[in-house]
Chains A and B, each alone.
Chain A
């Protein structure tokens, strides 16, 4: 426990077990982006997975929507300390997308329209832990929240859930993405408060 701030009692007295250390609850949906929002139409959009052999697995918007869709209810945790509980998403599991992919590599880099990147170990994308989401709360995902589609890796801080995602690149070694090169943690587990280096 840190130094006590005299006269400070806080407003949220309840210890919510769903809340990782250092996080507070929000009902709104704040936006955190490093630059302008890319405007990508579904016709322009595609998603790729690129392996070490140079093989590119590719899905158009229509092919992506034709895959098995999951409805996901999950908590999300932003490194700027807000958490939002019980959010509803619809999208395609990375397990589904990786069914046809052969790779021996253990690391990935997510690439987004607009140039954003973030690194995620493959283990954290598989096993029902991650999706490419295109709906939030029953509506098409808004561009400022990453639409047409974003990566959803809710067990890591939310900067790992790359907005405007356009592909995954398999990597031999873990490499830092955009925020990871700008002071943020390589892995980003909210329960261990892996915010900064």
Chain B
């Protein structure tokens, strides 16, 4: 656990959507991180005023680098700076990665159901990447031998529109059944030519899409509070064990699915 403030170098930046950007950071001394952890980022103004926010790690890299994907919030204090002002070569103060609960453990052989609302896909993407990093890894390092790497992963991603989806190309490339299945629900705008009109996620769609309760999947749900509350309730009512459902909620005013 890294609990003090460290200086991170911004290695590169890339645009994910019109409102979100991924920052690649190097944190000297970091030796990897768990999939699902977050970091705190601190900005300091010239007069010493500081602002701190938490961001989920999107990457699953073994060394001293990690990636954050930051969504610009309309009334945000820190996110507009990270999305628009920060450039490669800048430095940021970072605490962490931290968190030992909302993390995927490769030693767990359970199938995994990931459920994302909007930018809640970020820590779930770290899990997908960590899973993929182990799959097919040569046994020389031993990394590929943990049972979790052979477990099926599913992602259900509720997102406003195709253009608002993060990591779409990469998810397309990685989605090879049974190791990774990706299902989208578009809430405002469906892809061109889609026969399914945009709709909010409902209980029936959820329960026909996710791994069934008899598979006893490890479930990770991340999104706005109302989304997470509603989805977790539907799962519990459908017979999923509350103990198997881990949630991470974004604060503020969320919408229901």
Contact = CB atoms under 8 A, between A and B. Distances in A.
Interface of A: 1-13, 22, 24, 26, 28, 30-39, 80-82, 114-115, 144, 178-179, 181-183, 195-197
B242 A36 contact: yes
Contact of A182 (B40, B49, B100): B100
A183 B99 CA distance: 6
Interface of B: 1, 3, 5, 7, 40, 42-46, 48-54, 77, 81, 85, 90-93, 95, 98-102, 225, 229, 232-233, 235-236, 242-243, 245-247, 249-253
B236 A36 contact: yes
A12 B77 contact: yes
A146 B54 CA distance: 23
Contact of A37 (B3, B53, B101, B233): B233
Given A2-B44, A10-B43, A31 B52 contact: no
11 contacts: A9-B45, A9-B49, A12-B49, A12-B77, A24-B77, A28-B253, A31-B225, A34-B247, A35-B242, A182-B101, A183-B99
Contacts of B95: 196
Contacts of B250: 30
B232 A35 contact: yes
Contacts of B252: 26, 28, 30
A178 B43 CA distance: 30
B75 to A, nearest CB: 9
A193 B46 CA distance: 23
Contacts of B44: 1-5, 8
Nearest to A22: B52
Given A81-B54, A114-B242, A8 B233 contact: no
Nearest to B46: A4
Contact of A3 (B7, B54, B99, B232): B7
A82 B77 CA distance: 13
B91 A3 contact: yes
A36 B235 contact: yes
Given A1-B48, A8-B45, A81-B53, A36 B77 contact: no
B93 A38 contact: no
B70 to A, nearest CB: 14
A181 B1 CA distance: 12
A3 B93 contact: yes
Nearest to B101: A182
B232 A37 contact: yes
Contacts of B52: 22, 24, 81
B42 A2 contact: yes
B3 A5 contact: no
Contacts of A82: 251
Nearest to A6: B90
B4 to A, nearest CB: 9
A91 B247 CA distance: 28
Contacts of A26: 251-252
